Amino acid sequence: MKAILKDKLNLLYEEISKKCELYLPTKEKGALNFKKFDGENEVDIESLQTVKSAKDFFFPQTEDMVNFKTEGKNIEIIDAREKIETYVIFGVRACDYKSFEILDRVFLVEPVDTMYKNRRENAVIFTLACNNPHASCFCKNFGIDASSPKGDVECYDVDGYLFFNPLTEKGAQIVNGLTCLEEVKGEDKVDALKKDITKKIEKLPFSNLDLSKFKGENLMELFNRPEWEELSEACLGCGTCTFVCPTCQCFDIRDFKTNSGIKRFRCWDSCMYSDFTQMAAENPRKTQMQRYRQRFMHKLCYYPSNNDGIYSCVGCGRCVKKCPQSLNIVKVIKKIGGEKND
């Protein structure tokens, strides 16, 4: 297997970044997020998770769509979409990779979102197996195997080496072109690591949730459950859960008046916000309970009933970690999903 000593990872980063842009989990002021490699990044591939998910690469928080310029009676329409060249995202975890599949089903069906498609197709994704899954992880429930995270190239951090397992042609091309890699015998070690990860994941407290109630047929029954009231009681109506979530994909399109025209851009929106469903006449979701219910019904019922039963949650645990008042999807699954979860 191709591999590199972990002490020499900087050589790898430098070599990749010479070929194309490289994004890595980087620690900055105490928060881990993906940042472009500039030679001075404080790269951290040991920590499990970035604060913001990897969806930002394909679906950034704000994105220009089109510009209008006015001069006298003329309006010029300018395509503001960015030109994207091949780039590498390094250190994506299995859950985040799975989230791309969920987003693809939204953005890549007709009519195709060209901005998303452009970014998606030009990305080469190096995934990383989770050596130390956290107690808040529950990816196993959604059929995700953190020990083989998929992507273009799978990476395994074992025994002082980082091993590479290219899965696609795109990935193989980059890996084979890297001169800093050496050939190391490591199949056994990687297999051992995989087994170890699987064992660790089996032991996690949320690894065996009962999702049998969320089937997409009993929508009204779940919708009308009285428990939503107490589940949402403490919700602040902030957008933290939706913004750190790898599968939340709602956005708003806005116009910004510049001094000489208009910039039309899209930005993330959150179903937790009071004006998310604001319309000219009125707002159909008036209470925070309704908004809260919407978010989880969408993840666990509406999305699967439209998408062959695939849940729109990957169990990354970001909402579990980041909700200011510790409300999260696990609590919802346990409360609404029935006794088996106790």
Please report, as ranges, the residues that interact with another protein according to CB under 8 A. Answer: 28-31, 33, 51-52, 61-62, 132, 134-135, 205-206, 230, 233-234, 236-240, 242-244, 252, 254, 256-260, 263, 265, 267-270, 273-275, 278, 320, 322, 324-328, 330-331, 334
Pick the closer one to another protein by CB: 20 or 78.
Answer: 78
For another protein, give the closer residue by CB, 97 or 206. Answer: 206
Quote the tokens at residue 5. Answer: 């000593």
Give the contacts of 299 (CB within 8 A, at least 6 positions apart): 247, 311, 312, 313, 329
Torsion angles phi and psi, residue 281, rounded to 5: -80, -55
| CB 110 to another protein: min, Å | 27
Whose Cβ is closer to another protein: residue 27's or residue 194's? 27
- Rounded Cα distance, 158 and 161, in Å: 5
Q: Counting runs of H as helices and runs of E as strands, what totals does the chain give?
A: 12, 12
**Strand runs (DSSP E) across the chain, as ranges?**
2-5, 21-28, 31-36, 62-71, 74-79, 87-92, 123-128, 153-158, 161-166, 182-183, 251-257, 261-268
CB of 237 to another protein, least distance (A): 6
Provide the minimum distance between the beta carbon of 261 and another protein in the complex, in angstroms, as a whole number.
9
Q: How far is the CB of 275 from another protein (least distance, A)?
A: 6
> Cα separation of 143 and 98, whole Å?
10
- Nearer to another protein by Cβ, of 86 and 278: the residue is 278
Nearest distance, CB of residue 301 and another protein, angstroms: 22
- Which one, 60 or 216, has the nearer CB to another protein? 60
